[in-house]
Each structure stands twice: as C-alpha cells, then as structure tokens.
Structure 1
C-alpha cells in the first residue's frame, strides 16, 4: 500500500518504520520542509522517506494521522484539496472529538479510528525506540470506514497485535476514561502514574470514576463502577514507572490534550445534564496551568 504518515513523532515514526519493513511504500508529512527524512528504529539501519510530497499525498491509499488531537485541524487543513476521495484516513491519538470534524471535511472518504497501547520514544529527531509492546484496535467512524476491516490484517503484519473492533466507540470511551483519571492528576502533581495508587488519591479517583460511569452509560457505553475502577487501577499499576503524556506536556510547558480528554467528557456531560464537579475541577486546574505560561 501507499501509506502517508501525517505527524512523524514517536508513534508516527514507529508505524512508518514498521510499515516500511513490512514492504509498504511509506512517505511522511512532517513540519519540516526538508524533502527527505531519515528514521532509525531502535538499532536497525536508517531508512529514508519522502517528506511533504504532494504526489505521495495524492497517491496515498492510507493517511495515518498521528499528531496530537489539538493539532489535527491545522495539520490536515492544507492537505484537504489534494486528498483523493478513495483514500482511507485514520486517526490515532489520545482523546476524542476530532473524527466528527474530519468526517465533515472529508465526507466522501472512509474514516477509521485507531487506539494503540504501543510505547514509542524519540531520543533524537531521527531515532525512534519501541519502548513497549502493546495492542492496537481499529474501527470505522463512518459507513465507508466500517468497510475497511482488511486494514487490521495489513497493520497486524507490520506491528502486531491489531484487531478490528466494530464497537470502536466503546474502546475509545474506555481509553478516554483511563486518561481522564490518570493524566490530569499526574500532570497537576507532577508524579509518575504509580503514585496514584497511594491512599491520598483514592477518594478523588473514586469520584472521577463515578462521574465517568454516569456519562458513559448515557452515551450508551455499558460499564459499571467496579469494572471501570479496576481497569483504571490496573493501568496505574501496570504503568507505575511511566510519566503520562499530559504530565510531560505540563513539565515542558507544552499545550496539553485536556480539551479532547476531560473537555470531551464535560461536553458529553453537559449534553445529558449531568453534574461532573470532580472532572470539571481537574479541567479548570490544567487550563489555569496552561494560561499561566502565556501570561508570563
């Protein structure tokens, strides 16, 4: 396949190198205007990719968007006139809320949503490290996207394990719930994920989870408190030594994905007239932190 990666950060670079090794024709669309970019996966030899090539964009069978949620609109807007109506467009990022906008701009295209737990890290511009093996789920966002289940096999061949999930919305909500619980707290307290297992966070995490369950049930996601809380704490413990992406963004004074994580939850809660004071408090705290950087 002709595959274009929009946003060759850590996750985008991981998929680019894995797709290339699997025999696909891969091109990149990064922020730099250089016509070629080289990437090295772990200790493997460097591979070179075309960058910002209009012809590669026009010929793409699949565009994989791996920029952060808040970057999606500005990243793909200039590309829209050149995207073929048959090109599959796939979103892979934390948070929710970008697919609706994308589908409105590319109404003729198959839109697919993906979520992955693979770990990737770029110690330098050209090297990407595969830091943790995970699991990727795909599903269709629109009717044409729902017909793209063959992509699971294509991607599984490149970076297993990949499965097609007809109920991708449910999977995305579970991931959103985990992010709502872990990311803001670790960002505010500048701590590792595992520290949330401490007794001082129990009441807050319980309250956050109760609010999540109420909203998710109204969104027709069947979940009950015990199982969701257990899932959240399982991730806290499994990733105990890790810093969340939001913690890292706050540490480096970068814009966070709070609007597409807790912000998305609050929008859904408002729609259903549900009170979510615990999550609202976390949202406001992160927004205040972000605002303090611009005021300096």
Structure 2
C-alpha cells in the first residue's frame, strides 16, 4: 500500500520503519524542509524516505497521523487539498478529542482511531529505538471506516500485535485513564514512569483513578476500578525506565498534550456535573508550568 506518515516523531518513525520493511511504499510529511528524511531503527540499516512529496500524498491509500494531538487539525487543514477523498485517515496519538474536528474537516474520508502501547524513543533526529513491545488497536469512527477492518492484518504483518476493536472508544478511554495517571505526575515531578510505584504517589494515583472511573461511567464506558488500577500499575512497571511524552515536553519547554488528556477528562466531567478535584489540580499545575515560559 501507499502510506504517508504525517508527523514522524518516535511512534511515527517506528511505524514507518516497520511498514517499509513489510513491503509498503512509505512517504513522510513533516515540518522539516528536506526532500528526504533518514530513519534508522535500532541497529538496522538506515532508510531514506521521501518527505513532503505532494504527489506521494495524493496517491496515498492510508494517511497515518502520528502528530501530537494539538497539531492534528491545523496540519490536516493545510494538507487536505492533496489528500484523496478515499484515503483512509488513521489518528494515532495520546489523548482524545481530535476525531470530531477531523470528521468535520474531511467528512468523505474513512476515519480510523488507533491506540498503541509500543514504546519508542528518538535519541537523535535520525534514529528511533523500539523500547518496548506492545499492542495496537484500530477501530472505526465513521460508517466508511467500518469497511477498513482489513487494516488490522496489514499493520499486524508489519508490527504485531494488532487487532480491530469493535468499540474503539472503550480502548481509547482505557488509554486515556493511563495517561491521566502517569503523564501529569511524571511531568510535574520530572521523573521516570517507574518512580510512580513509590508509596508516596499511591494516594494520588488512587484519587485520579477514582475520578476517571466516575467520568467513564457517566460516558457509558464499561469500567472496573480494580482492573483499571492493575492496568495502570502494570504500565508503570513495564515502562519503568521510560520518560512519558508529557515529561519530555515539559523538560524541553514544549507545549504538552494536557488539553487532550486531562483537559478532555475535565470537559467530559463538566458535561456531567462531576467534580474531579485531583485531576483539576494536575491540569492547573501543568498549565502554570507552561505559562511560566
């Protein structure tokens, strides 16, 4: 397939490499001006991929969007004239809240949401490290995307494990819960994920999870607090040496995805009249750090 990856950061570069090795024709779309970009995964030979090639974008069967959530709408608006109306759009990023604007912007295109637990890290502009095996879930947002379940096999062949999820909102809310628990705390305290296993964070994590569960129930998303707690603890342990994306954003004084993670939770809580003081305090703390720059 012809696949364009928009926003080749760590996760985008990881998928670019694996999809290329699986035999697909891969091009990139990025903020860089170069006609080609180099990606080297782990110790494998480096790839040279076309960048910002409008012809490749026009012929793309799949547009895999791995931008940070705040950039999704503006970048897709810029490149929309070059995207075929039959091209499948896949959004793969932390947080929630971009699908609505993308459906409005590109109502004719099949829209798929994706969530992945694979770990990726870019030590340099050209290298990406696959730091942890995980699972990727894909699911339809609009009616046209219901015909796109074949993508699970395509992506699974490149980088397993991939499955099609009939209720992708459920999977995304589970991922949102993990991000609400881990990202703001690691960013505020500037620590690796594993540090959250220390006893001093237990009460705060429990309060975050309790509030998230109340909102999920109001959103009619099936949730079991005990199982969600186990999931979050497992992620903390399995990614113990990793820095969260929000920690890295704050460390490098970049705008974070807080509005699409904790901010999305706060918006849903407000819609249902639910008080979420712990998450509200974390959101405020991140915003104050960002505004201090």
Fold match by TM threshold 0.5:
yes
Cα distance in 1 for residues equivalent to 2:151 and 2:186: 34
| Contact 1:14-1:41 at 8 Å conserved across structures | yes
TM-align CA RMSD: 1.1
Query: Aligned runs of 1:145-294 on 2, under 5 Å?
Result: 145-293=145-293
Comparing 173-182 and 227-236, the one that deviates more? 227-236
Comparing 28-37 and 275-284, the one that deviates more? 28-37
Partner of 2:112: 112
Could you say if the C-alpha distance between residues 198 and 41 of structure 1 is closer, same or farther in structure 2, counting changes exceeding 3 Å? Answer: closer
Runs of 4+ in 1 over 6 A off after TM superposition: none
Task: Specify the SS of the correspondent of 1:184.
Answer: helix
Q: CA deviation at 1:74?
A: 2.2
Partner of 1:59: 59
| Contact 1:26-1:49 at 8 Å conserved across structures | yes
Task: Specify the SS of the correspondent of 2:205.
Answer: helix
Cα distance in 2 for residues equivalent to 1:124 and 1:37: 13
Q: CA deviation at 1:186?
A: 1.1
Q: CA deviation at 1:45?
A: 1.8
Could you say if the C-alpha distance between residues 242 and 127 of structure 1 is closer, same or farther in structure 2, counting changes exceeding 3 Å? Answer: closer
Cα distance in 1 for residues equivalent to 2:126 and 2:90: 24
Comparing 66-75 and 193-202, the one that deviates more? 193-202
TM-score (norm 2): 0.97
Q: 1:95-148 deviations in whole A, cap 9, x for unaligned?
A: 000111101101010000111111112222222221211111100111111220
Cα distance in 1 for residues equivalent to 2:215 and 2:103: 24
Task: Specify the SS of the correspondent of 1:49.
Answer: strand
Could you say if the C-alpha distance between residues 214 and 156 of structure 1 is closer, same or farther in structure 2, counting changes exceeding 3 Å? Answer: same
Query: 1:130 and 2:122 equivalent?
Result: no
Partner of 1:16: 16
Q: 1:251-283 deviations in whole A, cap 9, x for unaligned?
A: 111111100000000000011111111100100
| Contact 1:42-1:130 at 8 Å conserved across structures | yes
Cα distance in 2 for residues equivalent to 1:237 and 1:43: 26
Cα distance in 1 for residues equivalent to 2:258 and 2:28: 27
Number of residue-to-residue matches in the alignment: 293
Task: Specify the SS of the correspondent of 1:144.
Answer: helix
| Contact 1:146-1:166 at 8 Å conserved across structures | no
Cα distance in 1 for residues equivalent to 2:181 and 2:85: 38
Could you say if the C-alpha distance between residues 241 and 39 of structure 1 is closer, same or farther in structure 2, counting changes exceeding 3 Å? Answer: closer
Cα distance in 2 for residues equivalent to 1:203 and 1:14: 35
Partner of 1:38: 38
Q: CA deviation at 1:224?
A: 2.4
Gaps of 5+ in 1: none
Task: Specify the SS of the correspondent of 2:265.
Answer: helix
Comparing 16-25 and 44-53, the one that deviates more? 44-53
